[in-house]
């Protein structure tokens, strides 16, 4: 999935660009503003907007010397477009829910890389750190099966390749106290979807 432009990924062309702009705001916008934000010509916008008004997705209000346009939130298709525009947030929420179903649960599940930075497109990996609880080995069951099930579910959720960095709690704390460039990036950009933030882990000491 292209999470930078999720609406345009599924609704290509001028119509998708315009719907993406309208989905990202609750404000009314005039035609020239919509065209500028959508990076289309005013002539293209003037052809597409009346079609969307006819379908009932968009409402037009006269405000001389121009007209203003906005999505009709009650329209079933508008709800779908708004949901699509917020798909990145929905993925983060569901990844956390999936982590909470793991057995045993990870201490932390942290998304990093392009997805965390809001730059993930259709070929980007979904990068995540899963921190194993103390005493759970990397080959221990049911952890292995549960982590693989999580990876599969994440792949089906996003359609993107999933890269999981697994590490135990004590080793994570050590690496975070003296981070390499990789771990510095995780600390800087990572989004905790489940469990303890990495900053909290960094302060923990091995018994």
- CATH number assigned to the domain comprising residue 57: 1.10.10.10
In a domain, residue 23? The reply is yes
- The predicted-structure confidence for 70-117, as pLDDT tens digits, reads as follows 999 999 999 999 999 999 999 999 999 999 999 999 999 999 999 999
65 & 92 share domain: no
Residues 101 and 78 in one domain: no
pLDDT category, 202, cuts 50, 70, 90? confident
Pairing of strands 108-112, 126-132: antiparallel
150 in Cβ contact with 99 (< 8 Å): yes
**Whether residue 135 is found in the same domain as residue 174:** yes
For residues 111 and 178, membership in a common domain is answered with yes
Considering the domain architecture, whether residues 34 and 77 belong to the same structural domain is answered as: yes
Residue 1 belongs to a domain: no
Tokens for 137? 């080995």
Q: What is the pLDDT of residue 199?
A: 87
Q: Which of 30, 63, 84 is a domain's end point?
A: 84
User: Where are the extended beta strands (E) located within the chain?
Assistant: 29-30, 58-63, 66-71, 108-112, 126-132, 162-168, 191-195
Does residue 207 lie in a domain region?
no
Tens-place pLDDT, residues 136-178: 999 999 999 999 999 999 999 999 999 999 999 999 999 998 8
Spatial distance between the Cα atoms of 87 and 37, rounded to a whole number of angstroms: 20
Q: What is the pLDDT of residues 106-143, one digit of tens each?
A: 999 999 999 999 999 999 999 999 999 988 999 999 99
Number of structural domains found in the chain: 2
> Does residue 18 sit within a domain?
yes
pTM: 0.86
40 has a pLDDT exceeding 50: yes
Q: Which domain holds residue 151?
A: 87-202
Shared domain for 134 and 189, answered yes or no, is yes
* Main-chain phi, psi angles of 19, to 5 degrees: -60, -35
Residue that has been written with the tokens 């932390």 in this structure: 108
Q: What is the CATH number of the domain that holds 140?
A: 3.30.460.10
Given 84, 119, 144, the domain boundary residue is 84
Task: Tell whether 31 and 115 lie within a shared domain.
Answer: no
Pairing of strands 162-168, 126-132: parallel
Edge-to-edge order in the sheet of strand 191-195: 162-168, 126-132, 108-112, 191-195
């Amino acid at each position: 999935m292209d999470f930078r432009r999720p609406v345009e990924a599924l609704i290509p062309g001028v119509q998708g660009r315009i719907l993406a702009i309208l989905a990202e705001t609750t404000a009314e916008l005039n035609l020239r503003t919509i065209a500028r934000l959508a990076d289309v010509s005013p002539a293209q916008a003037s052809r597409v907007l009346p079609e969307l008004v006819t379908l009932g997705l968009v409402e037009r209000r006269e405000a001389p010397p121009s007209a203003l346009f906005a999505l009709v939130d009650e329209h079933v298709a508008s709800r779908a477009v708004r949901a699509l525009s917020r798909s990145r947030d929905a993925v983060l929420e569901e990844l956390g829910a999936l982590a909470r179903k793991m057995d045993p649960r990870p201490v932390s599940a942290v998304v990093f890389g392009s997805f965390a930075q809001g730059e993930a497109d259709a070929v980007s990996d979904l990068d995540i750190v899963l921190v194993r609880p103390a005493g759970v080995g990397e080959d221990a069951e049911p952890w292995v099966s549960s982590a693989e099930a999580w990876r599969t579910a994440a792949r089906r959720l996003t359609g993107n390749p999933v890269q999981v960095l697994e590490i135990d709690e004590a080793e994570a704390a050590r690496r975070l106290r003296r981070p390499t460039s990789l771990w510095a990036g995780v600390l800087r950009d990572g989004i905790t979807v489940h469990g303890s933030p990495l900053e909290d882990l960094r302060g923990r000491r091995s018994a």
